[in-house]
Amino acid sequence: MTGFKIEQSQKPVLIVISGPTAVGKTDTGIELAKIFNTEIISADSRQFYKELQIGTAVPMSDEMQGVKHHFIGNLSIHDYYNVSKFENEVLELLKQLFKKNNYAIMLGGSGLYINAVCRGIDELPDADESLREKLNFEFNKNGIEYLRNKLKHLDPDFYTIVDKSNHKRLMRAIEVCLTTGKTYSSLRANEIKSRDFDIIKIGLNRDRPELFDRINNRVDIMIRNGLAEEAKSLFSFRDLNALKTVGYKEFFEYFENKISLEQAITNIKTNTRRYAKRQLTWFKNDDLIKWFHPNETEKIVRIIR
């Protein structure tokens, strides 16, 4: 793309590109990074893990087109990590990036991690070990539906947006509610932290049939690229939180002879489509996001300018 004059603003600018999985965030982000001569920060909480390559659609070096990416493959599935650490590490990185360029790009589909950088995460109490043991016992005894019902009762607002298949996220919200006597959502949204940079939020979306076709096709490509073999190599670590992830947990059920291979692949496609719907629900709640089709790069550049 040519003909765009990049003007400097008083404050540096963080360009946030969000949207559902498989919508085309990586391609758009790389195109914008080349236009603005900047680097990309990944806000995909599963691409952090170096062991998860195929199933998280990590961009290969040739796909990055020479654009430097941060927070991809920087952790092991055995490492402890949380959204607060991500917030602090990204803010430190942005200080360095803004010394070189007035623009930086953050892209991904993990809304909680994006919000941490843009708004800040409020200080939440540490986990109460006895309470966590009790919740773990109830979860193992009664299943994830117990946690869903518990959270729905304690904090219906957060229940509408939380990943209801992530038992640890459900459990953490319940812990905070029971420990503080307040809702998790009210503590998270209590105060927006000031940032010394401007933020422009770009949302990418496609018509539902087009998006779902892309999801199905991407799963087929992952299968051809060896997703089953990658999942098999991680089977012994299946209880780790990082592996409670679409694309892996379905294959783990297949390896345990609970479902057929064909059913596992079908379930991956179905669960990925459901995940995309949840992502859209999360991002649609943010009125500051300006929405575009991924092909509308020229319009996006004009908004950023």
The pTM of the whole model exceeds 0.85: no
| CB distance 27 to 295 below 8 Å | no
Q: Is the dihedral of CA 219, 220, 222, 226 positive or negative?
A: positive
Q: In angstroms, rounded to a whole number, what is the distance separating the alpha carbons of residues 70 and 93?
A: 9
| CATH 3.40.50.880 matches 13-122+194-208+279-304 | no
Alpha helices in the chain (DSSP H): 25-36, 83-100, 111-118, 129-142, 144-154, 156-159, 167-180, 184-188, 208-224, 227-233, 249-255, 261-284, 297-304
Q: Which CA distances in Å does 266 have to 163, 169, 220, 288?
A: 20, 25, 10, 35
Q: In angstroms, rounded to a whole number, what is the distance separating the alpha carbons of residues 114 and 119?
A: 8
| CB distance 224 to 248 below 8 Å | no
| CB distance 283 to 205 below 8 Å | no
Q: In angstroms, rounded to a whole number, what is the distance separating the alpha carbons of residues 39 and 188?
A: 29
| CATH 3.20.20.10 matches 129-188 | no
Say what the pLDDT of residue 161 is: 87
Same-fold call for 129-188 versus 225-278? no
* Element of type H or E holding 290: strand 290-292
Q: In angstroms, rounded to a whole number, what is the distance separating the alpha carbons of residues 79 and 186?
A: 29
Render pLDDT for 100-125 as a digit per residue (tens, 0 to 9): 999 999 999 999 899 989 988 766 76
Say what the pLDDT of residue 83 is: 83
Q: Which residues of the chain have pLDDT under 50?
A: 2-6
Which long-range contacts link 278-287 to residues 24+ away (Cβ below 8 Å)? 278/161, 278/163, 278/164, 279/19, 279/20, 279/21, 279/109, 279/111, 280/19, 280/20, 280/205, 281/160, 281/161, 282/111, 282/161, 283/18, 283/19, 283/20, 283/111, 283/203, 285/161, 286/201
Fold type of domain 225-278: Helix Hairpins (1.10.287)
Q: In angstroms, rounded to a whole number, what is the distance separating the alpha carbons of residues 96 and 272?
A: 35
| CB distance 121 to 113 below 8 Å | no
* Element of type H or E holding 16: strand 13-18
Every domain of the chain and the residues it spans = 13-122+194-208+279-304, 129-188, 225-278
Tell me the backbone φ, ψ of residue 272, rounded to 5 degrees: -70, -40
Say what the pLDDT of residue 112 is: 85
Q: In angstroms, rounded to a whole number, what is the distance separating the alpha carbons of residues 195 and 182?
A: 27
Say what the pLDDT of residue 123 is: 64
